[in-house]
């Protein structure tokens, strides 16, 4: 029994817990066991146990950019305790549980340029690496040097940038979920903290003006089609404010869906389907979902 295993091996865990505060859409879902490993050894032992016993699990970052479309999750693993940062000149190593936004500020304070785009991204380093998170025409692929992972056979391996096959909001790791990102090494440029801060402050102002930060959402819903902006396509259809249940196309930015109260995953997915259908009908463009549906 899993509870005996995690108790006997001194894991931090919580039983029968709501995941509402663990995803940025604030969707309700139940988790039977929410587990926080403290060390790589604990994580390896846990993964080995879960796989050998055919227990479904999900490694969840900050819960941004995801749609939890399941009522009950058996096991959720959180890597929040993997939060060390090491800086050596322009090389920065950050563990998977480090806040990407926090890391961008630490780099700014150390006169390191390259992560200013991440100041407003609410994810963690591990998930941001897997999804090649980005903003303002910059992304993780520009600055990642290598990534330490756990392989499907539970070995620890370092993958270089070429191995990771980065592309727009995509990577090798995104398509191989039996790999686990442990830490990411960044190669940044030397800069001046005051200039980097000015850039970050300007982008923060722009986000505040253009994005619905006052309501639960999971960031941009769709990828931008080449040469176009998904938000503008949706806005030009007059769909700002359109809602299904408590899920609404933001009045502020049409490529955001917000939870206005007690939205369900079905509300959000039905609204996504409606938007895709309307855009296809009007422009003959198939929008690609940027958010990940977890079933």
Active centre residues (catalytic) = 169, 220, 290
**Tokens 């995690």 appear where?**
6
205: three-class secondary structure by DSSP:
helix
Tokens of residue 199, six digits: 């850039």
Whether the CB-CB separation of 13 and 33 falls below 8 Å is answered with yes
Tokens of residue 133, six digits: 């998170």
**Tokens 């980065």 appear where?**
166
User: Cα dihedral sign for 169, 274, 233, 217?
Assistant: negative
76: three-class secondary structure by DSSP:
strand
Please provide residue 102's backbone torsions phi and psi, each rounded to the nearest 5 degrees.
-60, -45
Whether the CB-CB separation of 99 and 121 falls below 8 Å is answered with no
Q: Rounded CA gap, 284 and 212, in Å? A: 28
Quick one: which of 11, 149, 9 has its CA closest to 75?
A: 11
């Amino acid at each position: 029994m899993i509870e005996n295993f995690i108790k006997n091996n001194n894991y931090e865990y919580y039983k029968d817990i709501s995941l509402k505060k663990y995803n940025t859409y604030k969707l309700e879902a139940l988790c039977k066991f929410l587990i926080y490993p403290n060390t790589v050894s604990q994580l390896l032992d846990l993964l080995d146990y879960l796989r050998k016993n055919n227990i479904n699990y999900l490694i969840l970052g900050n819960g941004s950019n995801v749609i939890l479309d399941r009522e009950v999750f058996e096991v959720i693993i959180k890597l929040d305790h993997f939060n060390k940062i090491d800086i050596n000149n322009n090389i920065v190593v950050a563990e998977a549980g480090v806040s990407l936004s926090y890391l961008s500020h630490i780099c700014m304070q150390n006169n390191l340029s390259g992560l200013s785009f991440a100041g407003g991204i609410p994810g963690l380093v591990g998930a941001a690496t897997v999804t090649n998170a980005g903003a303002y025409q910059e992304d993780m692929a520009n600055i990642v040097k290598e990534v330490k992972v756990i392989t499907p056979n539970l070995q620890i391996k370092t993958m270089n940038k070429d191995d990771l096959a980065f592309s727009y909001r995509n990577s090798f790791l995104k398509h191989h979920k039996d790999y686990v990102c442990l830490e990411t090494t960044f190669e940044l440029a030397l800069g001046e903290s005051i200039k980097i801060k000015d850039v970050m402050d300007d982008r923060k102002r722009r986000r505040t003006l253009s994005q619905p930060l006052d309501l639960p959402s999971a960031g941009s819903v769709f990828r931008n089609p080449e040469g176009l902006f998904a938000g503008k396509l949706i806005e030009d259809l007059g769909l700002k404010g359109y809602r299904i249940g408590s899920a609404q196309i933001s009045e502020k930015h049409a490529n955001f869906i917000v939870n206005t109260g007690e939205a369900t995953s079905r509300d959000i997915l039905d609204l996504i389907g409606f938007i895709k259908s309307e855009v296809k009908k009007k422009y003959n463009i198939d929008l690609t979902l940027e958010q990940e549906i977890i079933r």
